[in-house]
Amino acid sequence: MRALKVGLLVVGALVVVSLLTLRVTGLEPRYIDPSSEAFAESGRTAWPGLWLTGEVVREPVTNWDWVNEVNDPIRKNSIMLETRTRFGIPHSVTINPTARGDKLYIGGSEQDFRLQKEFPYSKAWWANIVRDPRVRIKIDGKIYEMTVALVADRAEVAQLIGRDPVTKVIGADGKEQITGVRHYWRVYQRNIPEYGDGSAVARSNGSI
């Protein structure tokens, strides 16, 4: 019994040290090109990361169009998003942004087996931001502290992306079937003197 306790203490200490190290060094999420066969074979997902590291931007951004021009040679027009889990350890993923002047959006799609789950529980980061809309985004090597709010109006999403966010086909039985749904969130800077801490957006989103 004593040996077991000592072993558990050693394992616990190693876990704590590892997490503290990763808190400093960061652990970025894996990237897989969404257009590749490897992405489809992986269930249209990739290994998540933990903390994102980089210089934190404290100045307000009034025009986000430059984000559309960021073309990381590895991640190909994508950015990294760090969400908060209920366990205190972050969950970070690679996503695609959409910028429209002073507005910045993030989004994702659910297809195949994910459609069988109730939104937002088909993806871990979706469930995380519904519970806590405070996130950190890494763009071009820099960290932006943000608050997100779901764009619930599908007509607004359709206007944003230029097509219906719901993809449908006619099945063999002649009935219409949904094959994909895209969801988007508006992203607001927080911890900026001009904007406050983002709590007003979070409250309006019903998340905190």
Give the pLDDT confidence score for residue 173 in this predicted structure.
79
Give the pLDDT confidence score for residue 41 in this predicted structure.
57
Whole-number mean pLDDT of the chain?
Answer: 78
Work out the pLDDT band at 18, boundaries 50, 70, 90.
very low
Q: Is 204's pLDDT higher than 70?
A: no
Class of domain 2-204: mainly beta
Q: For 58, how many CA atoms within 13 A lie in the half-sphere containing its CB? A: 2
Higher-pLDDT residue of 74 and 89 is 89
Higher-pLDDT residue of 75 and 163 is 163
Q: Is 59's pLDDT higher than 60?
A: yes
Mean pLDDT of 196-204: 52
Strand partners, 109: 182
Higher-pLDDT residue of 125 and 191 is 125
Token reading at 51:
């903390």
* Total-model pTM: 0.73
Domain residue limits, the chain: 2-204
Q: Is 93's pLDDT higher than 70?
A: yes
Give the pLDDT confidence score for residue 183 in this predicted structure.
94
Buried b or exposed e, range 171-208, using 16+ CB within 10 angstroms: eeeeeeeeeebbbbbbbbbbbbeeeeebeebbeebebe
